[in-house]
Amino acid sequence: LTVRSLPREEAVALDRVDPLREFRERFVLDDGLVYLDGNSLGALPRSTLERLREVAEDQWGSRIVRAWEDGWLELPLAVGDRLAAGALGAAPGQVVVGDSTTVCFYKLASAALDARPGRTEIVTDLGNFPTDRYVLEGLARARGLEVVWLRGDPCAGPGVEEVAHLVSGRTALVTFSHVSYRSAHIAEMAQINAVASRAGALTLWDLSHSAGSVPLALDEDRCDLAVGCTYKYLHGGPGAPAYMYVRRELQSELRQPIWGWLGRRDPFEMAEGYMAAPGVRGLLSGTPPVLSLAAVDEGVRIVAQAGLDRVRAKGVALTEFAVRLVDERLSGFGVSIASPRDPLRRGAHVALGHASAQRLCTALIDRGVVVDFRRPDVIRFGLAPLTTRFVDVWDGVEALARLLGEGATGS
């Protein structure tokens, strides 16, 4: 087990020819740190520091309230359009950046249910991210609807056939994560959209683990609705605002439930009664988080510069490298790959299964290898393509091999 079949030099060589290698320099990252948790929080771009300074000092500091008229009110739409073009495969006028992912998800799920009166079911899977599941449970409770759970294998689903089996004329909404937060499985978005659409249901996708890591084609794939966070692969910063996508044809039909002044037509009229602003502006509720939007804009700019095709190619190469190393170095210690083995069906992280995952995860972090643990038995190696080197993958697997070799499983 201690035979090292794949030397570290191979990782060094892969880094040397990596077309995105100079991107890592654009981020604040300690060279000694093995950061494999970009799927939780992406690293800080150096240019974001300058951008935040500029917005704070030159705009807030000098223009104070007048800066709202200099363009701050347009930021949710402007950043949305740049995100749409750079990472979502969506034409302009269909994306806004606004509230937290949870709130965005609530707004769009609620709007979708309102648009399908008389239908009583919401289809999702148990592998969906907890906040999505809880929001759906809350909506179902408040409206007397039923959540129909798909309980498949997290490495294989949600599969098109399974979804087709659950969707019917009773279904109002079909909603999944595009890339699973746990297994990194990539769902077949276009086919699931087609299944839902044939049944007259709307689709809502959570793109939190997709945008900035795998190419998306929301328009071409006929997505109805989507949300996603910006603090992972889009490097927008802790708690950065999320985005909402509503396909253009649906915009006049859908009404989100939080009727705030900045989603109203002519908000500064301060008039009686709510009338939604046309287009995606009507998805907004309150005052936009300007500093955070500037940080999201900067992260999106860097991802767009790298280009999603190159980002994806690197993500596939990194996860393939990780899978190969884990098979060679760790399978003898009882570590399994808890992600799809087909790279085309796998996002930018690799889930490793082990009975002592929690203890191992803590020990890895103590040794400067930052990964995360997902109950009950998964360690995620998040391989954010712009900031992860092949040597980081090698060092991370090696550190885990050493721990296992030392018997650090606690069992």
Ligand X SMILES: Cc1ncc(COP(=O)(O)O)c(C=O)c1O
What amino acid positions are annotated as catalytic residues? 129, 206, 231-232, 380
The answer, yes or no, to whether the previous bond of 376 is cis (omega within 30 of 0) is yes
Beta-strand pair 349-353/336-337: antiparallel
In this chain, which of 81, 121, 125, 206 binds ligand X, going by CB under 6 A?
206
Residues counted in the chain: 411
How many whole angstroms separate alpha carbon 37 and alpha carbon 232? 9
Residues numbered 286 to 305 that lie near ligand X (CB under 6 A) are none
Q: Considering the rule CB under 6 A, would residue 256 count as an interface residue with ligand X?
A: no
* Closest to 242 measured CA to CA, from 359, 371, 132, 164: 132
Beta carbon nearer to ligand X, 296 or 397: 296
Residues 6+ apart with CB under 8 A from 329: 1, 4, 5, 6, 397, 398, 400, 401
Beta carbon nearer to ligand X, 177 or 183: 177
**Exposed/middle/buried for residue 271 (C-beta within 10 Å: 0-12, 13-18, 19+):** exposed
Q: Considering the rule CB under 6 A, would residue 210 count as an interface residue with ligand X?
A: no
Beta carbon nearer to ligand X, 108 or 403: 108
The mark string for 148-177 relative to ligand X (x by CB under 6 A, - otherwise) is: -----------------------------x
- As measured in angstroms, the least distance from the Cβ of 160 to ligand X is 20
Beta carbon nearer to ligand X, 132 or 224: 132
Beta carbon nearer to ligand X, 226 or 276: 226
- As measured in angstroms, the least distance from the Cβ of 236 to ligand X is 11
Q: Considering the rule CB under 6 A, would residue 394 count as an interface residue with ligand X?
A: no
**Residue 186: beta bridge partners?**
179
In this chain, which of 242, 295, 325, 370 binds ligand X, going by CB under 6 A?
242
Q: Considering the rule CB under 6 A, would residue 102 count as an interface residue with ligand X?
A: yes
The mark string for 45-84 relative to ligand X (x by CB under 6 A, - otherwise) is: ----------------------------------------
In this chain, which of 48, 175, 183, 208 binds ligand X, going by CB under 6 A?
208
Beta carbon nearer to ligand X, 23 or 129: 129
Structure tokens at 392: 């980081």
- As measured in angstroms, the least distance from the Cβ of 238 to ligand X is 10
- As measured in angstroms, the least distance from the Cβ of 229 to ligand X is 4
Query: DSSP strand E in 162-301: where?
Result: 171-177, 202-206, 225-228, 243-246
**DSSP, res 66:** G
Residues 6+ apart with CB under 8 A from 382: 36, 37, 38, 39, 40, 348, 349, 371, 372, 388
Cα Rg of the chain (Å, integer): 22
**Residue 336: beta bridge partners?**
353
Scanning 19-27, 70-78, 100-108, 388-396 for contacts with ligand X by CB under 6 A, the matching segment is: 100-108
- As measured in angstroms, the least distance from the Cβ of 192 to ligand X is 16
- As measured in angstroms, the least distance from the Cβ of 177 to ligand X is 5
Scanning 126-134, 251-259, 260-268, 378-386 for contacts with ligand X by CB under 6 A, the matching segment is: 126-134
How many whole angstroms separate alpha carbon 295 and alpha carbon 303? 13
Treating both helix axes as pointing N-terminal to C-terminal, what angle do 290-306 and 46-54 enclose, rounded to 10 degrees? 140
Residues 6+ apart with CB under 8 A from 130: none
Cβ proximity of 383 and 319 under 8 Å: yes
Beta carbon nearer to ligand X, 132 or 395: 132
Q: Considering the rule CB under 6 A, would residue 339 count as an interface residue with ligand X?
A: no
How many whole angstroms separate alpha carbon 45 and alpha carbon 34? 17
Q: Considering the rule CB under 6 A, would residue 129 count as an interface residue with ligand X?
A: yes
Q: Considering the rule CB under 6 A, would residue 197 count as an interface residue with ligand X?
A: no
Could you give the angle at the alpha carbon of 392 between the alpha carbons of 302 and 308, nearest 5°?
30
- As measured in angstroms, the least distance from the Cβ of 137 to ligand X is 15
Count of residues that interact with ligand X, criterion CB under 6 A: 13
Which residues contact ligand X (rule: CB under 6 A)?
100-102, 129, 131-132, 177, 181, 206, 208-209, 229, 242
